[in-house]
Every structure is written in C-alpha cells, then in structure tokens.
C-alpha cells in the first residue's frame, strides 16, 4: 500500500512540491520573525522529514533570514515556500496554505503564542517542543 501524498504549489504554479507520508507536526506559529515573512498574523507549518518531500517543479530561491535560518520563495511570483533551520536539521517546514487541499491537515500545536497579536483570537495549547 502506498503512502499518502499531499501536493502544493506557489501562486503562479512554477514551484510545486509533494509531501510523502506522515508529517513530523502541523502547527501554528505566531512568532515575530514569521509574521513579516508572510504578512500574516500567524503561519500554519507542516514539518516534513527530509527524504519525505520533493520539489516537483522549479526549486525555490532561498534567503538566509538569520545566521541559522533560511526561507524559500518562488523566484517568479515571490510566494513564500519553506523555512529551514539548523535547529531542525532533518526537516523542512512547508506552509500549509500552499497545499492543493489545505483542509487535508489540521494544526495540533502552537508556537510562540506569547507573541500572538491580540486580534487573532483564542490560542491553542502550547506544546513542549
């Protein structure tokens, strides 16, 4: 039996990807460094183990946003695509909103809720991570 595959893409469709099998986590981040990168009050991330994801279209362009962190985006339309950190060396974080079916995942964790904006509503439980 084959493992489930989720597919996603940027706004223009140039950068596409597949997530294969289970995720390490699906969680919301309210961090001050994530918000400006996407101009959103919070981000829903999918943590996917290396070797369990693939670029199936153009490879995103990357930007070193801080000494140990890298953010990727489509070189054509600018859509944010991923986050990579030395802190999580064996996984890549994908934006859940890029999935062809974003309802295929549900966040179960929350990060940096102490940095959340007051107008975003009620926060989820803060897991130890």
Residue 60's nearest CA partner among 102, 93, 31 is 93
The whole-angstrom separation of Cα 45 and Cα 104 is 13
* Topology given in CATH for the domain delimited by 5-112: 2.170.150
What is the residue-level pLDDT of the chain in tens, covering all 129 positions? 688 999 999 999 999 999 999 999 999 999 888 888 888 899 999 999 999 999 999 999 999 988 999 999 999 999 999 999 999 999 999 999 999 999 999 999 999 989 988 877 655 667 666
pLDDT of residue 2: 85
């Amino acid at each position: 039996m084959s493992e489930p595959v989720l597919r996603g893409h940027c706004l223009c469709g140039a950068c596409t990807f597949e997530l294969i099998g289970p995720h390490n986590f699906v969680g919301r981040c309210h961090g001050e460094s994530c918000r400006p990168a996407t101009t959103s009050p919070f981000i829903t991330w999918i943590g996917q183990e290396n070797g369990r994801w693939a670029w199936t279209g153009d490879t995103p362009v990357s930007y070193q946003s801080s000494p140990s962190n890298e953010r990727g985006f489509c070189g054509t339309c600018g859509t944010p695509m991923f986050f990579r950190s030395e802190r999580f060396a064996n996984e890549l974080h994908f934006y859940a909103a890029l999935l062809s079916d974003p309802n295929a995942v549900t966040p179960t964790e929350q990060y940096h809720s102490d940095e959340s904006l007051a107008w975003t509503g009620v926060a989820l439980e803060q897991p130890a991570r």
